[in-house]
Amino acid sequence: MRQWSLQGKKSGKSIALVPTMGYFHEGHLSLMRMARAIADSVAVSIFVNPTQFAPNEDLDKYPKDIKRDIGLAASIGIDCIFLPDNDAMYEKGFQTWVQVEELSQGLCGKSRPHHFRGVATVVLKLFNIIMPDIAVFGQKDYQQLKIIERMVKDLNLPVKIVPHPIVREPDGLAMSSRNSYLSPQERKSALCLINSLKIAQKSFNEGIVHPDTIRAKMRHEILANKNAKIDYIFIGDADTLKETDTIGDGTLIALAVWIGTTRLIDNIII
């Protein structure tokens, strides 16, 4: 992998990286197209990182179709796919972690306490291995994006982080590899995430600025589905990820909802 990157750098090419866990959908492909447009060479990593999953989570059943992924990446002109195995990424005796402290605590960090430590660590490893000039991250995983941006600043990493907007299905559901877990009934219920966010935006447009009032409306919309359970609804500052007393332009509304046994996330910025 290093050899490929060094070769590219020697000939003056800029390198963009799109880190993924594979099982590509249009969201991934859209990030890749963006990377393609802003760099000379594009590398995509596919690695289902075990250290960001808790023991009770879906590591073992995470969907996989490497052959299809490679075909899709090739079809949009990706130059290189990095496909390491667990032993290569985590050698025996591994014990060094990156912890982006405050930003990792709220939102998804509450119910997934070691998740972002695993994410930050593996992303730093990927940066060190691939040495990209640019890395593209989706805003769907908004907290992850903010944590990576912070890590890059705090550790002086020579990588430009480029955010990409959320890519949605025609009916508004945010695309996710985990959508493949949903039964047809659950797929319908899953619309409660985007619908509750739309209600939040509409309420704000009508003059409601109190987070509790908006949260109550969102909760009502979500819990109309018997198979839905709310993990969290966050309303607050889009940079610090701290809750705020009032909603304004630029406020982040982010949520995680269980639909049956599948945990989905989504967000908007007001």
Q: Mind telling me the catalytic residues?
A: 28
Write down the least CB distance from residue 162 to ligand AMP, Å: 10
Tokens matching residue 177: 């590899």
Looking at residues 1 to 60 of the shown chain, list those that interact with ligand AMP (rule: CB under 6 A). 20-21, 27-28, 31
164 near ligand AMP, judged by CB under 6 A: yes
Q: Residue 32 or residue 131: which is nearer to ligand AMP going by CB?
A: 32
Residue 250, class by beta-carbon neighbours within 10 Å (0-12 exposed, 13-18 middle, 19+ buried)?
A: exposed
- How many angstroms separate the first and last alpha carbons of the chain? 41
Query: Phi first, then psi: what are they for 59, rounded to 5°?
Result: -50, -45
Among 265, 255, 196, smallest CA distance to 225 is for 196
**Does 70 engage in binding with ligand AMP (CB under 6 A)?**
no
Q: How far is the CB of 163 from ligand AMP (least distance, A)?
A: 9
Of 44 and 218, the one with the shorter C-beta distance to ligand AMP is: 44
Alpha-carbon torsion (159, 140, 98, 5), positive or negative: negative
Binding segment for ligand AMP (CB under 6 A), chosen from 9-17, 33-41, 132-140, 248-256, is 132-140
The CA-atom distances, in angstroms, between 106 and each of 89, 184, 201, 238, 264 are 28, 31, 22, 12, 16
Residue 174: name the closest of 91, 267, 101, 80 by CA: 267
Q: Are 44 and 18 in contact (CB under 8 A)?
A: yes
**Count of positions on this chain that bind ligand AMP (CB under 6 A):** 16
Residue 83 interacting with ligand AMP (CB under 6 A): no
Does 211 sit near ligand AMP (CB under 6 A)?
Answer: no
Residues 173-192 that bind ligand AMP (CB under 6 A): 174-177
Residue 48 beta carbon to ligand AMP: minimum distance, rounded to whole angstroms: 9
AA identity, residue 158: P
State the residues that interact with ligand AMP by CB under 6 A.
Answer: 20-21, 27-28, 31, 137-138, 140-141, 164, 166-167, 174-177
